[in-house]
């Protein structure tokens, strides 16, 4: 999650934290995050699996096409659901089910990388917000 992102973005992550969800934001650059949100510097193209271990969901904000496969792989390896939004008119390049929200489209990646089917859930209540593109 990009700490300087749009108020809607910060609000979504902040709302999860206020509801008692453990939220960890990641990015390749240091970012500020709302109170109650942890931050870890990580790169989904060369991830530290311990950052995502135990997550129920990996949620990538404004995820460009070139990072969608990596985000999906990180989520799959963690046994987590993979959710993402894209930049403007960027397409989802991984199989995903879109849901239209008020200001964006939320995609839920389908199945593990390279196979059909759904993802498994870890059951720990720990979403991880992925990095947000500038």
125 is a domain residue: no
Q: What single DSSP character describes residue 84?
A: E
Same domain, 63 and 93: yes
Same domain, 62 and 99: yes
Domain count across the chain: 2
Strand 105-109 to strand 81-84: parallel, antiparallel, or no bridges (unpaired)?
antiparallel
User: In the beta sheet, which residues pair with residue 108?
Assistant: 83, 97
Same domain, 59 and 99: yes
Contact (Cβ atoms closer than 8 angstroms) between residue 99 and residue 88: no
To the question of pTM greater than 0.85 for the whole model, the response is: no
Q: Is the pLDDT of residue 76 over 90?
A: yes
30 is a domain residue: yes
Condensed to tens digits (0 to 9), the pLDDT of residues 87-106 reads: 988 999 999 999 998 888 99
Q: Is the pLDDT of residue 114 over 90?
A: no
Same domain, 36 and 59: no
8 is a domain residue: yes
128 is a domain residue: no
Task: Return the percentage of the chain with pLDDT > 70, whole number.
Answer: 77
What does each C-alpha distance from 16 to 67, 97, 128 come to in angstroms? 24, 22, 11
71 is a domain residue: yes
CA dihedral 130, 32, 15, 12 (to 10 degrees): -50
State the residue range of the domain holding 67: 55-108
Condensed to tens digits (0 to 9), the pLDDT of residues 14-38 reads: 788 888 888 999 999 999 888 889 9
Same domain, 34 and 4: yes
């Amino acid at each position: 999650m990009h700490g300087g992102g749009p108020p809607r973005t910060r609000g979504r992550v902040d709302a999860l934290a206020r509801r008692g969800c453990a939220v960890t934001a990641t990015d390749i650059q240091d970012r500020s995050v709302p109170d109650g949100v942890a931050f870890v510097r990580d790169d989904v193209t060369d991830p530290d699996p311990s950052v995502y271990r135990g997550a129920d969901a990996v949620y990538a904000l404004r995820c460009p096409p070139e990072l969608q496969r990596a985000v999906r792989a990180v989520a799959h390896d963690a046994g987590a659901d993979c959710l993402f939004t894209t930049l403007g008119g960027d397409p989802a390049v991984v199989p995903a089910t879109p849901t239209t929200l008020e200001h964006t489209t939320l995609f839920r990646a389908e199945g593990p990388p390279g196979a059909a089917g759904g993802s498994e859930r870890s059951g720990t209540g720990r979403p991880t917000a992925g990095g947000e593109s500038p």
